[in-house]
Amino acid sequence: MKNNTINKKEIEKFSKIAEEWWNPDGKFKPLHKFNPIRISYIRDNIIRTFKLKNKKNPLEKVKILDIGCGGGLLSEPMSRLGAEVMGIDASEKNIKVAKLHAKKNSLNIDYLCASPETLDAKKKFDVVLNMEIIEHVEDLNYFLKSCSNLLKKNGIMFVATLNKTLKSYLFAIIGAEYILRWLPIGTHEWEKFVKPEDLVEILKKYNLKLELLDGMKFDLIKDEWNISKDKSVNYIAKFIKD
């Protein structure tokens, strides 16, 4: 059995542009645009599920693991909302950028260069974030099993990724990479995209049941992302651990 879910080619690809993470007009511009809807979706669902009441620090004491955290684009807002955050990434360059940026902003985030299977499974989290990461890993099955091991009973796993459809190939690769140049060419491989029903089946084996499945759509006129019924390109799912 493989004991490694790191795809070296993918890590090298993102390491090369690591300095760009916090530039809202740089190579990660699409993620900066994506971030507000991701943050509100995660925050609101955590509050609802755990029935949290703190208005000032809504995610206080919630232990969050941000997998494939990159430069910390999600880890930092989660920390500001009061959560105890650990961010892991297989790229040392990404982790260096994330640590530096958190320090500059006086945020206490535990960043580690690691992948889920290398973490101590005795350490359990209330929430695991798998945002735009599963389409970049080796051995998806083993990766998700490792993630599940790190989640507490009744904990939440969020997964955001790309559906494996003709439309996603046209929009996410041909459109976003080749025509609009939103992303560097080669950012995505369509073969690694995951259909929601396949994701649900895999996670079922690891005691995670689907609670919510939503599409995410970019509004060209408003220049913003919104939650949508259309799951044919981007989707986000919420799973609860039995």
pLDDT tens digit sequence for 191-227: 999 999 999 999 999 999 999 999 999 998 999 999 9
pTM: 0.93
Nearest-CA neighbor of 143 among 116, 118, 110, 123?
116
**pLDDT (0 to 100) of residue 115:** 97
Q: Quick one: residue 64, left, alpha or beta (phi over 0 = left, psi -120 to 50 = alpha)?
A: beta
Tell me phi and psi for residue 69, to 5 degrees. -70, -15
Eight-state DSSP code of residue 70? T
Which range is least confidently modeled, 22-31, 167-176, 179-188? 179-188
Structure token pair of residue 62: 């919630």
**pLDDT (0 to 100) of residue 228:** 98
pLDDT in tens, 134-150: 999 999 999 999 999 99
**pLDDT (0 to 100) of residue 3:** 63
Query: For 176-188, what is the mean pLDDT?
Result: 86
24-33 CB contacts, 8 Å cutoff, 24+ apart:
27/183, 27/184, 28/70, 28/71, 28/73, 29/182, 30/176, 30/182, 30/183, 31/70, 31/73, 31/132, 32/73, 33/218, 33/223, 33/224, 33/225
**pLDDT (0 to 100) of residue 184:** 85
pLDDT in tens, 56-101: 999 999 999 999 999 999 999 999 999 999 999 999 999 999 999 9
Q: What is the CATH number of domain 8-46+57-241?
A: 3.40.50.150
Tell me phi and psi for residue 170, to 5 degrees. -70, -40
**pLDDT (0 to 100) of residue 147:** 98
**pLDDT (0 to 100) of residue 1:** 39
Query: For 152-165, what is the mean pLDDT?
Result: 98
Question: DSSP readout, 13-53?
Answer: HHHTTGGGTT-TTSTTHHHHHHHHHHHHHHHHHHHHHHT--
Which range is least confidently modeled, 106-115, 181-190, 218-227? 181-190
